Amino acid sequence: MIAEFIFTVTESKFLIAKAVTQLDRVQKAFREGIIAMHPSTSTYYVMKELTGQAPDHDKVWITGMIVPKALCVEAHTQLKKTDKDTGLNKALADAGTYPHTYVLRKGERVSGWVLNDLTEKMGVGDIYLKGVNAMDASGKVAVQIGSVNENGTIGRMIAAAKKNHFEIICPTGMEKLIPGSAEDAARFVNRKRDYSMGVKSALYAFDATVLTEKDALEMLADIKAMPFSCGGLDGAEGAVCIAVEGSDEQVQKAIAVAESVKGVKLPTILSPDCMDCSMPTCYLCGTKKPWVV
């Protein structure tokens, strides 16, 4: 039996989250250890699937983002002009003080931990989840870094993972696929820039455990999956089309999984007012461009 599906970018995030949370080692870390997640639209759904509760979207639930006007930060994390002396600029320069990671310890939400706490406490069997901005054909991924810290939070966590032997998992939709290699892209981008449409962004390429929509369907329904088309219109921009093949029972299970994610929506993205923002690495701070409404 053969079937084909279309997933919007948001539906893909939910589909992949379902697969991530069913991994045996993720379930074990949830019960017995630590699962930490950098706030993102991808980890939003992982958190919801694991705990039954979505993160508070009236607080920090996403940090850096790409929106129509520019590379940006979510409004709850923006630096306002009145914040220049509150220490937030210093926090941007020290990834170890990053305070917004979702942390679960033996199934319970932990508050108050900064990144330095995670790098000290996480070890074998623990899991760190991070959404990414790019993936190449070899499966290497990359993250945009908008802080003034050279390698951002991901650089700090990769160093800790190598030392303490915990796993980094990156739920990654196929809309993130780039031509060429992630490392080549990073070398090209990580030079002095004279202009940026929004936050000046470096790129950090690395290896991690990657799960895509294809992986999710094959794992959840035990079938063969094949992506065959990407893109769309009217809200399906960035969507992926995937065909699956298997026994009637397997494909019916895949259909049930696919239909369970259809129509899912993320909370409203709050983009800050450029005129009121003082993000030190953003070229649009304090400006008004004709395309920003």
Q: How many domains is the chain partitioned into structurally?
A: 1
| Beta-carbon count within 10 A of 254 CB | 25
| Beta-carbon count within 10 A of 287 CB | 11
Write down the pLDDT at residue 87.
46
Q: What confidence tens digit (pLDDT) does each residue in 70-121 have?
A: 888 888 776 665 555 444 455 556 788 888 899 999 999 999 999 999 999 9
Does residue 234 sit within a domain?
yes
Does residue 253 sit within a domain?
yes
Radius of gyration of the chain, Cα coordinates, nearest whole angstrom: 19
Give the C-alpha separation, 59 to 244, whole Å.
Answer: 39
Give the C-alpha separation, 163 to 166, whole Å.
Answer: 8
CA contacts within 13 A on the Cβ side of 145: 23
pTM, to two decimals: 0.92
Does residue 134 sit within a domain?
yes
Give the C-alpha separation, 201 to 236, whole Å.
Answer: 26
Tokens of 118: 């995670």
Does residue 292 sit within a domain?
no
Q: What confidence tens digit (pLDDT) does each residue in 234-286 have?
A: 999 999 999 999 999 999 999 999 999 999 999 988 888 888 887 878 888 88
Boundaries of domain holding 217: 2-276
Residues 74 and 269: beta-carbon distance below 8 Å: yes
Provide the residue type at 133 as one letter: N
Does residue 185 sit within a domain?
yes
Does residue 50 sit within a domain?
yes
Is the model's pLDDT at 196 over the cut of 60? yes
Does residue 289 sit within a domain?
no
Does residue 265 sit within a domain?
yes
